[in-house]
Chain A
């Protein structure tokens, strides 16, 4: 058997093992499997696959992300994941901090503005009353003072004896 034919046969057997063959192909593979050598090879492949099904994936090691960040920092000469970029030490970069700060300031400004408008509406404005325009009194000319009467001095009555 040529190498190419062996490759084709191997691919067919893999398809058969994984159940990816249709009826016609299955019949031809079953004919192939009547050969004891091919059957033995097929069983070995099946056993190999079953061995690996017992293996699981390993969980992510502890602090994996931190280790990767440290390596990136070292490789980039401190350009990425530098501690100085984390003002609070919990992974918040300076750009994120600035954006959050601006958003908080905007929110505060809006809240204060709304409060101011509310106060304006609450102010009691008394109704205006139509009043006549005040009349200005013209200064009147006072009459000349009357001449005072000279009254004779009154004598007290004589005392009775």
Chain B
């Protein structure tokens, strides 16, 4: 969502701090996970505004992607599954970083839907509660968001 792992960790910590301090205001209308996502999305939006004001921009996440790729493969490997070769892992991490970079170029209001639906895999009911949008709006925006991501990815590939 933020395109930077350090910022993401900072915001993730803030989410839990805010939730802890405001737990009394949680009415239990929705799942606590949905409530946390809503806090997270709002904090991400605020952080993006702050970063754009500071012209922090999109700092490259390339430096932490290889480490992430390796750690993810370590965690997700099942018994008997062979570890990928280093060149495969590196190629995978490069592809992932290209997708991350393309994602960071998509409009934030589209990006949040891509993250919630296609990365986190949340149902539409939860997405509606988190974003406050109607189901039809979520779906139509999601369609445009996916197309926009593909265009951003292609444009990036053309540049390189």
Which of A's residues lie within 8 Å of B, judged by CB?
6-11, 13-15, 17, 41, 44-49, 51-59, 61, 64, 67-68, 71-72, 75-76, 80
Contact = CB atoms under 8 A, between A and B. Distances in A.
A51 B153 contact: yes
B151 interface: yes
A17 B118 CA distance: 12
Interface stretch (B25-33, B78-86, B136-144): B136-144
Given A44-B150, A52-B119, A71-B17, A11 B140 contact: yes
Contacts of A61: 9
A75 B21 CA distance: 9
B72 interface: yes
6 contacts: A7-B137, A7-B140, A44-B151, A47-B150, A49-B146, A53-B118
Contacts, number: 97
Nearest to B95: A54
Contact of A7 (B68, B102, B119, B136): B136
Contact of A59 (B71, B136, B144): B71
Interface of B: 5, 8-9, 12-14, 16-17, 20-21, 68, 71-72, 75-76, 95-96, 99-100, 102-103, 114, 118-120, 135-137, 139-151, 153
B61 to A, nearest CB: 11
Nearest to A11: B139
A23 to B, nearest CB: 20
A72 B151 CA distance: 42
A47 B136 CA distance: 21
B75 A10 contact: no
Contacts of A49: 118, 146
B114 A45 contact: no
A8 B135 CA distance: 11
A15 B71 CA distance: 34
A58 B72 contact: yes
A54 B96 contact: yes
A65 to B, nearest CB: 9
B148 A48 contact: yes
